Structure 1
Amino acid sequence: MGAIQLNKVEKWFGELQVIKGIDLEIKEGEFVIFVGPSGCGKSTLLRLISGLEETSRGTIEIDSKDVTALPPSGRGLSMVFQSYALYPHMSVRENVGFGLKTAGIPKAEIDSKVNAAAEVLKLDDYLDRRPKALSGGQRQRVAIGRAIVREPSAFLFDEPLSNLDAALRVEMRFEIARLHKSLGTTMIYVTHDQVEAMTLADKIVVLQAGRIEQVGSPRELYERPDNLFVAQFIGSPKMNVLPCSVEGDQFSLQGHGGGHYPHAGLPQRPVRLGVRPEHMSIVGDGEGHCSGTVEVAEYLGADTFLYVALDGLETILVRISGADTIEEGARIGLVFDETRMHFFDAEDRAIR
């Protein structure tokens, strides 16, 4: 239960098209994350799956059944929103079981399901408290518990952690990952935070302007991005991109050195080189692939981020161990890991 298929799905608001012909398969039990910048259509796509928005064109299937015209109540899904939407005058127990009560489920069955959900979510000690006596993370767990007791074929999460502080977001990421492992239920999760996407997902769907840019595992998207947009969106800090030229099997950077170009036999000609901040090492000034001046050094404990102004080029970010000390104003050379460089053509497509 919980396999979802989207076939050429479109959404129009008047003359504005916000979802542009999306095809997507979500397998039973997968944890799939929709990620992308604000306005890319990820929340709208989730609402189309849930039935909260009407599909303009295309079809949505759940377990091979066409549900495109069904209301939310007929789709067998549970949704967890950014806001907790708890009833302040009700206890945790009453909030979690409220949907079952309104559906006419017997009290003994409600109690059993509420207790089971509370055990999974570590809410046993809070069942008789009201929401005002809970932390933000506990309130979000109550909202998730309300979804669990319905025993849906899939859970839909719409940016559920965005109202929490940084420490609680880390804690709740762990809780949601543990919940997925425990339940084995299909989960679709919307976020603008690519760190959440990388740490939680079995499969990431990267969206931009209502279209899918790439679908794959976190490792696939990090190591083999299809285009420049995905390359810079996935990975934190984001990938550095520099103009380059190629002659034969050698690439070069304007005013700097170069190295081996591994795609010399392919017809596409690269115009940009991408290298992640963690895939560079420091050498002496005038050595390596390029040189520059350290403008800012941000010490973060385990890591230090160096903002290096390259001679004749732009400023790039270099990630080094926090145990290394590089002073601001220092002249350094940089060597790229040539096995982990990325090249892009004039249409921003990756060359492989």
Structure 2
Amino acid sequence: MGAIELNRIEKWFGDLQVIKGIDLGIRDGEFVVFVGPSGCGKSTLLRMIGGLEEISRGNLVIDGRDVTSDPPSKRGLSMVFQSYALYPHMSVRDNMGFSLKTAGAPKSEIDEKVGEAARVLKLEDFLDRRPKALSGGQRQRVAIGRSIVRDPTAFLFDEPLSNLDAALRVEMRYEIAKLHRALGRTMIYVTHDQVEAMTLADRIVVLEYGTIAQAGTPRELYERPANLFVAEFIGSPAMNILPCGVSGGRVVVSGGRPVEVPVTDAPVRLGVRPEHLAPAAPGEGLADATVEVLEYLGADTYLIVDAGEVGRITIRVAGEPGVAVGDRIGIRATGPVHLFDAEGHALR
């Protein structure tokens, strides 16, 4: 019902190509998140799927039907924007039912669909209020409810939580996850917030300057990044990337010491996540460093250390780190490491 297929999709603005031949299949009922840095093309790609941007080359198929040239109204999709775009003079009830009213739906059908959407989104007690009497999270739920009543094939979300404060973002992530489970509809979600991506997605698509750097489950991207771009983008704090080479048949951190990992073809970068490092006695581990900053976060503490030629490294320690600013420590790898070649491709 909600399968979407992108075949060699391109977008050109004059001589500038911003989407560079995207091939992607989205299964019916799947929750797919587009992530990437600003300017990577994620919102443009979403708007092309929704019909708000013309597809320059390639074709878009929804439920087996080529909709490349169809207007937005013919694609059966519903879009939720960063801006709530609610009518301030209308009640929540009228805002949610407005699209059905303009389409000429009978009042009984409008009332039924608005009531069902309000029940799903816990808005029954607010139907007669106007937007100014609602919180930011409630307004966003109204905007989502306006999409639900249209009974779309799929939902498109363009950074819907970026205007909310931190607590409301957490609450709305929970609400959107519940909504996906309740409706079972295909959802495509654009965000620059990797926490949203990791917690919501069945599959994440990481975009890099108009191309797909990697697509996979959150666990696949975190544990097996395909390249340096994904390795550094996914994860907070970011993966530590250290220069390395091969000497005497062993991988050696440049300016540091050998690392006990199988040698692969000419690695030039070694990546290790902060939680897979631990402080050790000087002279032990992959390098020595001086503790520069301790960031206490309650359950965890981040140690930011200066390892000289190796570079600055972040270590994630559970609870008390047992070291102080200015201490000289060794850095020991306690978990998997990742090796990358000169082109940034993962070697293991």
TM-score normalized with structure 2 length: 0.98
Whichever residue aligns with residue 258 of structure 2, its letter is G
Alignment of 1:1-352 (within 5 A): 1-247=1-247, 249-262=249-262, 264=263, 266=264, 268-337=265-334, 339-352=335-348
Q: Is the 8 A contact 1:249 1:260 kept in 2?
A: no
Whichever residue aligns with residue 281 of structure 2, its letter is G
**Secondary structure of 2:310 counterpart:** coil
CA distance in 2, matches of 1:54, 1:259: 51
**Secondary structure of 1:109 counterpart:** helix
Q: CA deviation digits over 1:167-192, x for unaligned, max 9?
A: 11011000000100110000000001
CA distance in 1, matches of 2:246, 2:12: 43
Whichever residue aligns with residue 185 of structure 1, its letter is R
Whichever residue aligns with residue 121 of structure 2, its letter is L
Q: CA deviation digits over 1:55-104, x for unaligned, max 9?
A: 00000000010000000000000000000000000000000000000000
Deviation at residue 249 of structure 1 after TM alignment: 4.2
Deviation at residue 255 of structure 1 after TM alignment: 3.2
Deviation at residue 248 of structure 1 after TM alignment: 5.3
CA distance in 2, matches of 1:59, 1:232: 32
Q: Percent identity?
A: 69
Q: CA deviation digits over 1:137-185, x for unaligned, max 9?
A: 0000000000000010100000000000011101100000010011000
CA distance in 2, matches of 1:230, 1:305: 22
Whichever residue aligns with residue 78 of structure 1, its letter is S
**Secondary structure of 1:244 counterpart:** strand
Q: Judge which range, 248-257 or 237-246, deviates more.
A: 248-257
CA distance in 2, matches of 1:10, 1:40: 13
Q: Judge which range, 197-206 or 247-256, deviates more.
A: 247-256
Deviation at residue 313 of structure 1 after TM alignment: 2.4
**Secondary structure of 2:298 counterpart:** coil
Q: Is the 8 A contact 2:253 2:259 kept in 1?
A: no
CA distance in 1, matches of 2:296, 2:79: 40
Whichever residue aligns with residue 219 of structure 2, its letter is R
Aligned residues: 348
| Structure 1: unaligned runs, 5 residues or longer | none
CA distance in 1, matches of 2:309, 2:3: 52
Q: Is the 8 A contact 2:256 2:310 kept in 1?
A: no
CA distance in 1, matches of 2:346, 2:338: 7
CA distance in 1, matches of 2:183, 2:281: 53
TM-score normalized with structure 1 length: 0.97
Which 4+ stretches in 1 moved above 2 angstroms? 322-326
CA distance in 2, matches of 1:283, 1:32: 41
CA distance in 1, matches of 2:229, 2:248: 27
**Secondary structure of 1:150 counterpart:** coil
Deviation at residue 261 of structure 1 after TM alignment: 2.7
CA distance in 2, matches of 1:114, 1:272: 55
